[in-house]
Structure 1
């Protein structure tokens, strides 16, 4: 199997576009990534990408050039970016391609995501009873989690405040105004215990990567970032996931647990080796839960970790250094690749004002989507 490196990254500002389109920004992100890698569109052997609402990724060839490149469309909910990355990695590792492009982009209107229960294998009753409002599910899940592990609700405020502080340092972030804990605690309660600034907003964004077989990557740049592992897992019986129609009596692991465990095993490193992490934070509670589900800490240890400042940019385990979904919003097709983009910058030492100290060598990313799907990626240098 060929080793795979990331040789080019491109990300355009997230937000809600007025004078451009997500499709146009996807093309721009691709061109930035190609230039970063020092290659042309015609050099790409394989392409893969995804979007929920902004169009089919393969149609971007109309703007990029009709080269006949194999182009695969992927949609895996919030794990679309991670799944697209995994597809490209497998193509290169198998020898089917030497250079691959991965792109994710999306555009979502204001308000909650529109969900059609029948497309998720559920009856119409699920929507008409209000259960398809995902903020309610996330609120119920974190309420139970805080209770079971004796964690204080104030951690939600701490996580959100950190996200906006980090986002204020990120020129691509949508929300670039730092918010105090007082601001967050005084925002409207939406789904108890989640307040307005503890939930991310659907939005627009685009991100792209260029991957290469290791031998080719060495010729392209002196600091390629190795994809040490990328994994995707779905739910098993007993896990309680977004859009689950019931709560099982018998408890089971989340797909995040399995995806993270598989990624660490494949990469040959452990959670203690991680120097910077990007975790799915659709809401502030998700970051708290995923810290433990990925193995980065034990269940119930989050208060000690967060209160000590460990998850801050200058801490021992910086988390969501670019502001995460809370500060960037969530354009579904682009979110997972945004995390990879951030980790590549951190490993290169090019993250500017949000650069973590001591030049990290191992970076971890995690995405989670409906109806219970998780993807984890480990990058090394």
Structure 2
């Protein structure tokens, strides 16, 4: 029996705002979309891993899909939830627990910056409401320090946001489909310097799903299977860049992204130069910039030239976030990583429409970073 795992179907419920529609219902729609793409039915699925932040029992999606009695496990790992769920689904197949498995993610977040239960972090609600919590304060401080250390300009950060908003404008399912100029992004409302409002993603609603199967069965379902060559997850080591003290020189250990990417390259038997198209966590434009180096695609500080040369645009040498990433799509946490995977699958299958990269891409890469420090990297190939 083959130890390969293939993705044979992908599904998406568009991200954005969807009124009173339940997150579970969005998840069911994405799952049905993925099953239709694979040419199979829910009754053929033998196990599923379902991720959500807002839904405490995401396994309740079985009520929308069918009560078949299979093991369904709830998954949550911050912004790395999608990468965790595909890793678990692939492992279940490799371990002989299932021939066909699903990874499903969905969420329905309120407007505004991501908040947290004050009883957990000990912070009052006004801390987030005044722009001082997590996705604003932490990431703003982090990129500001990185820019100073490596000679990166605010204009370069704005160019990343402009690139992602442009890509979103040619992506039919994107939430934010209006392009923006670099100047307008720089002149937008400052949230946490140097990051303006246009440089951040926004919490939103939506769902995504994947159908996976044993590699030797894949051609029963599709002529263009995409194989999971690596799916790695790493957490922080002591001394890594710490969430609660981002301005202090604590980097005596690498970011968990460095550890996850190193492990993924080793497992897949490739290096960064072999990657044709990538999706990198862009909670904000500064995060995408930092993650270019942490995932091994360039050295710290080289991003200035990469971005100036258009290297990460759809026609560049390493297209990044071809569907607009989080900046254009927003982030329903449970679904976000699976949206990344879906985009890479479409690119490798030549089904990405106006945003299709050229050069017959064969290897794709996705990366997630979930605060306070879980990173997931998946490498896919034809």
- TM-score normalized with structure 1 length: 0.95
Question: Does the CA contact (< 8 Å) of 1:228 and 1:266 recur in 2?
Answer: yes
Q: Tell me what 2:283 maps to.
A: 282
| CA distance in structure 1 between the aligned counterparts of 2:254 and 2:22, rounded to whole angstroms | 39
- Aligned residue pairs total 379
Moved more, 221-230 or 133-142: 133-142
Q: Tell me the residue number matched to 1:14.
A: 15
Aligned position for 1:173: 174
Partner in structure 2 of residue 266 of structure 1? 267
Q: Is the partner of 2:321 in helix, strand or coil? A: coil
Please name the residue that 1:100 is paired with: 101
- CA–CA separation in structure 1 for the residues paired with 2:147 and 2:22: 40
Cα distance, 1:274–1:55 mapped onto 2, change above 3 Å: same
**What is the Cα deviation at residue 248 of structure 1?**
5.3
Alignment of structure 1 residues 47-196 onto 2, 5 Å: 47-116=48-117, 119=120, 123-124=122-123, 132-196=133-197
Distance 1:291 1:106 in 2: 27
Query: Counterpart in 2 of 1:298?
Result: 299
For 1:160-203, what per-residue CA distance to the aligned partner results, in whole angstroms no more than 9, with x for missing partners? 00010000111111000111112212211111100010011100
Q: 1:126 to 1:241 in 2, by over 3 A?
A: farther
- Structure 1: give runs of 5+ residues left out of the alignment: none
Taking a change above 3 Å as real, the CA distance of residues 250 and 76 of structure 1, as seen in their structure-2 partners, is closer
More displaced 10-residue stretch of structure 1: 247-256 or 129-138:
129-138
- Give 5+ residue unaligned stretches, structure 2: none
Measured in 2, the distance between the counterparts of 1:55 and 1:348 equals: 35
Distance in 2 between the 1:213 and 1:357 partners?
Answer: 29
Could you tell me how far 1:241 is from its partner in structure 2? 3.8
Task: Could you list the structure 1 runs, at least 4 aligned residues long, displaced by more than 4 angstroms after superposition.
Answer: 122-131, 243-246
State whether residues 292 and 299 of structure 1, in contact with CA within 8 Å, keep that contact through their aligned partners in structure 2.
Answer: yes
Deviates more, 1:184-193 or 1:158-167: 184-193
Question: How far apart, in 2, do the equivalents of 1:61 and 1:340 lie?
Answer: 23
Deviations 1:124-176, CA, capped at 9 Å, x for gaps: 59996986443111111001101111111211110000010000111111000
- Could you say which residue in structure 2 is the equivalent of 1:226? 227
Asked if 2 retains the 8 angstrom alpha-carbon contact of 1:46 and 1:100, the reply is yes
CA distance in 1, matches of 2:236, 2:125: 19
Native 8 Å contact 1:173 1:328 kept in 2: yes
